[in-house]
Structures are given as structure tokens and as C-alpha cells.
Structure 1
Amino acid sequence: MHTLLITGPGGAGRTTVAAATALAAARRGHRVLLLSGDPGDPLTPLLGDPLPPGLRLARVDSGREFRDELVALQERGSALLGMVGARPLAAEELTELPGSEEFALLRALRRAAAAPGTDLVVVDLPPLHRAVTTLALPAQLRRYLARLLPAEKQAARALRPVLAQLAGVPMPAQWLYEAAARWDEELAAVQAVVEADTTEVRLVAEPGPAASDALRLGRLGLALQQLDVRTVVANRMVPRDCADPWLAGIAAQQEKHAAEWAADLPVVPLAHLGADPRGTDDLDRLAADGLVPQVPAPRRAWTVEDRLAADGVLVWVVPLPGAVKSDLDLVRRGDELLLTAGPHRRIVPLPSALRRCTVSGAALADGELRIRFTPDPGLWPRTH
């Protein structure tokens, strides 16, 4: 099964492109599931009711998921809540908190990826800056859980009643560790979908200077999470043969920026219809070569180059397309590396060989950050 994640700057038409992509794939005989996290209902005017053959639609009810999850959490922790005198909240008095939409969308993505009888899942993600943070959530939260509630500490649970008596305060209940294990399992399943070779990211933008800046930073954030952008949809392209000089100027500017994007990424141009698309006839008019995704190639790994014989170093190659030197910062802390790229940040564990080295330099060239590591004589095995 193939998963296509679609995002772009706000107002770029990503929902329309997601619908057009799903419809075009269904027209070609694919069994398509279109997943939307939009709180409104923009897809029904686009796709109609009933849906075209081969196409299914899944919507995310983030409010309901938030209520169900919090009520279930209260029930599992009822003993601890009762001990501290807490009054549980009823489902009808719960309103969702900021961030619940992202969690609900990720859970829905996991369910969609496991849905039987589906060839392609098209996901209408939030705007680009939110999409980057949403896709980074599973790995980040798993790291937090591992640090705050390490699994190996559960082995000491038999000592907690004794420790509670000695300390005079209640110890964390077993339900907390069980909840952490359940969350980690669910997050791992979502992370596996996001990072799978069969998952690709498509960006949608209306060509222009603001869109170019947004795409560069968004693509940089995705690359920091090791998520490759495979295509860019240049949306609402004005025809180049316009008689109106003003429209002809806009068309020229759009073509200039689309050509810059095409320098290192496939670009799929979609025409401006003169009005907002409505109905499957309009979506069919938007169909273009390259809109239906092909089977993606394996994602590019962060490789370690062995240059010990030539230069005495190992080099970690981190692809960061569009990065400039002023965007970047890195700090070594223990067995982890803190990488900053523009407004984005990621903490990554070092490969085992690099943990026995010290960072000796870094250079950015041709969209790659090359971090040099020199073996630590006290930790590196000696050769005879």
C-alpha cells in the first residue's frame, strides 16, 4: 500500500489537490482512501455524494477522540485519582485542547494504513508548518516517554509499596507505566507508517516568492525528520498566453518560480480554472501527468562514510536540501546530537560507531551537512 501525505502553505489549495489526486487515482482503478483532518466539510462539494467508484472518505473527529481518550485514561487511573481526592471529568463537560487535532489525525493515519482493500491512502495534512511538527510528534514523544518513564524501571515496581512507606508519599502507580507502554506502542505504529518507504510527502504551493520561502523552510524541517519530498504541485498556474498584460506578468512570475523548484524536484503544474473548483468535473479538469503517485523509491538514509584510512575521520552525511550555513547549528550531548535547521530542531541518537568519537567539524555543500567525527583513542579499539 502507498501513502501520500499532502501539505503546503496555508491557502495553497492542498485540500483541492488532495481531492483531485484521490479522484484521478480512483479513475485509474486504484482503491483509494482519502483522509481529511479538516474540521469543516470541504470535500463533499468537491467530490459529491455518493462518492465516485473506488474512492472512500475518512474524516477525523478530533473532539470525540479527545473525549474518549481522556475518559478512558481516567478510568484506568481511577484508584490513583481517588487517592488524591480528584473528581473525574464527565465526557459531556470535556472540550478538546490545542494539539488534539494532530493526535487524532495521527491515530487516523495509523488506522488508514492498516485498512484492508486499499491501494492508496491520500492524507490532507494541515498547513506546512503544522504538518512538519505533526509528523515529528511520534518520534519526539517516544523519546520523552523513554526518558521520563523508562521501561527498565518497571522491574522495581515490587519495591514501590516499601518505598512509599519510607518516603511518606505515594509512588507512581503501575497504571502509569502501563499507559506509557500503550502510548509507546501506538506511537511506534504511527512512526512506522510515517517513516515507511511506501510513504511520500507532496507539497502544494502557488508559485511566488512567499511560497518559495515557505517551501524551503518546510522542506528543511521535513528533511530534518528524514522525510523526503518527492513532488511539488505548482497550483493555480495562469495560462502563459493571456491577452491581459497584468495576467501575463503573473504567469511569467509563476513560471519563473516553478522552474526554480523544478531544478531539484519534479513539479506538477495545475491550471487556474478561473474560479474555485467545485464538483468532480472540475477535479477531472485538474488531472495532470504526475498527479497520481508512482511507487516511491526507498528514502535516502543518513549514511556514515568511512574515511579513516584517508583522513582519519568518519563522516555522517545528513541531507538538508535548501539549507544555508546560517540556518544550521549542532551540539553533541552524550550519545545524541542536537541538530537545528532554521526554525526546526531535532535530537537524534548517534550511530554506534560515532558514539566512540568526538565531533571535529562540519561543512555544508550541495544540500548535504557533512559532520566529521574523530575516533576517541580511549574508546576506539586499537589495531595491530
Structure 2
Amino acid sequence: MKKLLNLRLFVLLLVSLFAVTGCQSGEGSENGGSEDGSVEFEFWAAPNPTQEQFWDEMAQKYMEENEDVTINVSPMPESPSSEAGIQSAIAAGNAPAISENISRGFGAQLAESNAIVPLNEFDGYQELIEERQMSETMSTWTFADDQQFVLPIYSNAMLFGWRMDILNELGFEEVPKTYDEVLEVGQKLKDEYPEKYLWARGDLVKPTWSARWFDFFMIYNAASEGNGFVEGSEFTADDEAGVETLKFFQDLSENGLLLTREATDPFESGDSIMMDLGPWTFSYWDEKFPEMEQGETYELAMPPVPEGEESTTFADTKGLSIYASATEDQQKAAFDFVKWVFSDAENDLEWFEATNLPPARDDLADNETFTSFLEENPELKQYADNIPNSVPPMDNPQTAEIQELIGTQGLNPVVNGDKDAEQAWEDIKTAIDGVLK
């Protein structure tokens, strides 16, 4: 994850430069449509070799069927971050026609500055959503103005890993599902192994805004049954869920169940028995910790909840956006390319096989296209099952500031023992209201 940037102020600066150069009109592009009807455009892939290779292969196949289109695939600049690289390109007037690696929060910043265009206004948009079987997934991605600026490519429904072997030693046959059950496990753990911890996560005492996706929001989304927290510019968080979330962290801290100093592979070594886990972990385990086997060493589970509630989780997810600086011909060609890619489930399978990132499809768990792959990689099955039960990042341009305040005003002091849950939640609300006004 990238370090905190004051992205919103940077975007506003770039917008003014963007407007001065007249780039938003889409005119004067060097690679637009030509008199013979051909069109050429730039596609920026995420700065990841497997993703760049996937998009390059898709572009080559598409161009074989569409000889009047030229797609130039290259990795986006990432200095000091991919977001900053995109913003700099917008300001300089050399943004691509389309790029991936756009989160919902960053998409909101770009949309606020009119740097990207609504995808739902392209002919064939609804057909694409239906063909890719992603209507339910898209319902959580719609922006506050009912426009759709980002098409999600993948969705990691973040899960918790539990050391099942150690749970069995402690006398537990199942993963704990509620706060009370988690605390019961934690107490038994400390009784038997005083040197072990329930959850090792140094970020719990750090203000890093992006870290909140993998601690606070995993627990909050579960407690609130998927409440959006902030909708557009309105603070819509659930008070009861907010307090319950912080009280859970408070209880973990007061019972000595959190390891907040940095540690190397604490879950794999057994120093902790609970870990926020994304599907990218498994290739690392295959290489470094082959003894980690689902059903034996560990199990996967949705976040714990207050008694009697259904669980929801955070969706680590990014997608594609089309830029306003591209010509109309480039924008249409870019959308047609996207529609071509995602209208064939075999392309999503190729993506899944290459990246381990679950395609953002409602039918991923039961579409026969993916059955063999999921059978061969059973650890990915629960991620696929829970895509519809996961919530993407908020769609606010001030996402970074808001999530930093969740840390500094609430989670960090609660874990450090400096505030109780009720006071911390009130402080979070007051601070965020000040940002949104």
C-alpha cells in the first residue's frame, strides 16, 4: 500500500492546469481517430508484470479481430505512486485513454475533477454488466450521483485466516464467528501460551490511511452489514456498529491479545493465530511456507460479528476508468475493447489464473468456466463465494483524509488504551464531519 498523499489538493491543482491546456475537450490528441477510420489509444496497466502481460495479450487478440484499432499497452508510472503518476499525466496532457488500477476512492477524486467519464453513458454498458454477470457487484460501486466511473476488474473479499492446528490444540473445533467466541479463544490462548497473540498487526497503532481497509473496515463492514460509512459527501455511518467495532478492538487490547510491534511472519510461525488475509498470500506460502495447508494448518473465515448478525467484509478491489482527455473515437474504442474482454468468461479465467485476483463477477463461485480452477485452488473458493458480500472503498474524494482520521481519532488511541470506544467514535464523527463540510 502507498503512503498517504494529499491527493485531493493535488487533483484540484491538476484540474486547473488541465483546464488551462484545454485537454478535457478531447481535441488535439496526437493518437485519435484518423481520416481512414482507424484509431489508436494508450492503455496503462497496473505496474505488475502479470497484469501488464494479460492486457497486452488481450490487446493483441482484439487487434487481430479489429484491424482498424491500435492499442498500446504499457505499465503506468508509479513514482511516488501510481495515483500521482496518473495525476501528473493528466496535468501534462498525456494521460492514456484508459487505465486500470483505479480504486473507488481515487475514482471519486478523478470524477470530481471531470478527468474521467461515466462508463454508463457508453452504448452497450448495460449489456456488458449483464454479460459479465456483475449486476449485484456493481450495485455497491455506483457513485453517489448514480453515475459509474470505474468498472471493477477484481474483487478480493478480505477474509481472516485462523491457525486451525492451534485452535484444535486449545479444544476448539471451529473458527470463532462472534466477538464473544473470539475473546473466549483469546483467553484460552493466553492461558495455554502466554507468549502468543490472537492478532499480530503493527498497523493498528499507525495512522496509515490505507491500513484501515484491512482492520477497521473489515470489522465495521461485518458489524454494520455493509453500511457505506460515507455516501458521496454525507456521513452515513451506523453509530451502533461504529461503537461495537471499536469496543471489539478495545477488548482485544485490554486482554493483551494484540501484537502491535512489527514481527516477521507471526501467523506462519504460530506466534499469532488470526490474520487478515488476501488471496495474494497463497503464492507466497507455496514458496516460503509449503506446510500451510487449508483444512490442516489454517482455515479461512469471514470477519467476526456481534451476536446474531450476518457477516460482510471489505472488498479490496480496483478497476478501469476512461479518461476525458481522450478523443471521442478513442473513448469509444477503449470501451469496446473492455466490453470485448469481459463479454467472454474465458478471459476472466485467464486473468484469475495469471493473478490469483478473483474477477468481479457475481457468478464466480458457480460458473462452470471457473469450476476446475477453483477445485485445483480450493483456498480461493471462499473469496469467490463472498464477492457479493463485500463492500468496496467509499466513493469520496477525501477518502485518504477520512481514513486517516479513523486511525488518529479512533482506532489508534483505542488500541493504545488512550480512549474508550464511545469517546473514540464521537471523536471520529466530529473530525469527519469537519472534513465533509
Q: Normalising by the residue count of structure 2, what TM-score does the alignment of the two structures yield?
A: 0.21
Greater RCO between the two (CA within 8 Å, min separation 6)? 2
Q: Normalising by the residue count of structure 1, what TM-score does the alignment of the two structures yield?
A: 0.23
Structure exhibiting the larger radius of gyration computed from Cα positions: 1
